[in-house]
Chain A
Amino acid sequence: MGKIVAMTGNIAIAEAMRQINPDVCAAYPITPSTEIMQEFANFVADGLVASELVAVESEHSAMSACIGASAAGGRVMTATSSQGLALMWEMLYVAASSRLPIVMTVVNRALNAPLNIHCDHSDSMGARDSGWIQIYSENAQEAYDNLIQAIRIGQYSGVRLPVMVCLDGFIISHSIERMELLDDEKIQRFIGPHVSYYPLLDTEHPVTYGPIDLQDYYTEHKRQQVEAMKNAKEVILEIAEEFKALSGRGYGFFREYCLKDAEIAILVLGSAGGTAQAVVDKLRAEGVKAGLLKLRVFRPFPLEELAESLKNLKVLAVLDRSDSFGAVGGPVFNEVRSALFDLKKPPKVINYIYGLGGRDLGLEDIERVYQELQKIASNGQITKLVDYLTVRE
């Protein structure tokens, strides 16, 4: 048993980083993730970690420094949000394509404009094709647990990919929760030493990172990244098993709640999972066969597993905390709906965009979604495929 504490998501992440004790952290402050590196900087100043903290002049430089340090052979971590992630953009691809297992916390926040500092998933969802593994957290405990597992997942042979651990800005990052911190030594034993494949600092074996790669080999290198993502699926589950033995907390690609016999369900990721669960409890008490699927791993996308889990539903609502302008519905909706396409009797699927720029998602809002699902389940009629939840006309 570790230590039961009351902690915000940001401090829990900083604590995990202290326990991981990475070789290098390069970061630039941005709300709502600032506190993570601020607290971590205290750990560095107090000598509690041996990490080299690089204070850079922008997030583009932060990710660049992380790439350099990771290629050099170090265990590397950073954190950012929103515009910061957007500014890292081109370097995100370099990190993933160069197969550098950097671990980054993304405290989810809306993208400008207009200026908004509150939670939605537009930042990390925009980076969904950058080649990073993406794990979304429901609360501070899960964020902490995910970060520790991410270290192992990213550096695994056959994977060698950077990992983003996402948590909802303010809702998780700044709310105090009761959670368990594991023992420092246990974490160190769990993560083990950093494994570097071709460290630049190994001057006996000089290597080149990032050479030009034209028509003759670029495709082959992309194909390798596809394989790494495939391999990551197995590895994520394997590491989760090990982590369960360590902490007693089990994780999969997603968390099912009352889904086995459910006729209607909501699929959501992040902190809204807990809110939806409370609504399911209420509906179940009223005899409604309502269920919930809280998605944890978005990249690699668990297509087969989702199809299997959702196949007996009559109607499903996918809740997206970001929109994909010009597409039909949000990114989660599109991929989940496509996952169900090959089922013999696929459930009907609708989409709600919610919580943009931190707009609150209340129990009554989720209840309205379930009411709509009940209506569709009884008359088979979808009136609106994609709708905004809690928008004023």
Chain B
Amino acid sequence: MRLKGWKEIPIGGLIIEAGNSEEYQTGSWRSFRPIRDEAKCIHCLLCWVYCPDSSVIVEDGKVVGVDLEHCKGCGICAKECPPKVQAITMVEEAEFAEY
């Protein structure tokens, strides 16, 4: 994401559009990535309910993926996934790094 220069931003640190926190890509904070095993998942949607960043993507009542631009890797989804299912594993972000 290109960061703006001092002439391009509102003065005083003001945020002048409502609801623009969506533009803040909290995904850059992530050090662990939730990886869901489709074979195990029972689509109970508990992860969707608990995710503090609304990052679990659901289509037609089924989990289809994670919004990686906003998921900050807290691991709550993995924790809340029912103990008998445990469909989500938190994998270190370094595993996905491209060198």
Contacts and interface: CB of A to CB of B under 8 A. Distances in A.
Interface of A: 97-100, 160, 197-198, 205-211, 213, 216-217, 219-221, 223-224, 227-228
Given A216-B3, A224-B6, A210 B18 contact: no
Given A217-B3, A221-B6, A223-B6, A207 B16 contact: yes
A210 B16 CA distance: 12
List 7 tightest A-B contacts by C-beta distance, closest first: A99-B12, A208-B15, A220-B6, A223-B6, A98-B12, A206-B18, A99-B11
Contact of A217 (B9, B16, B18): B9
B11 A224 contact: yes
B18 A97 contact: no
B84 interface: no
Contacts, number: 52
B9 A221 contact: yes
Contacts of B13: 97-98, 209-211, 213, 217, 221
A208 B4 contact: no
A181 to B, nearest CB: 35
Contacts of B18: 206-207
Interface in B7-65: 9-16, 18
Interface residues of B, number: 13
Interface string B62-94: 000000000000000000000000000000000
B54 to A, nearest CB: 20
6 contacts: A98-B12, A99-B12, A208-B14, A208-B15, A209-B13, A221-B13
Contacts of B3: 216-217
Nearest to B12: A99
A97 B9 contact: no
Contacts of B9: 217, 220-221, 224
A213 B5 CA distance: 14
Contacts of A98: 12-14
A92 to B, nearest CB: 14
A277 B58 CA distance: 80
A220 B16 contact: no
Nearest to A98: B12
Contacts of B6: 219-221, 223-224, 227
A97 B11 CA distance: 9
A198 B5 contact: no
Contacts of B15: 207-208, 211
A223 B15 CA distance: 17
A80 B16 CA distance: 32
Contacts of B12: 97-100, 160, 209, 221, 224
A206 B20 CA distance: 11
A260 to B, nearest CB: 40
B37 to A, nearest CB: 36
B7 to A, nearest CB: 8
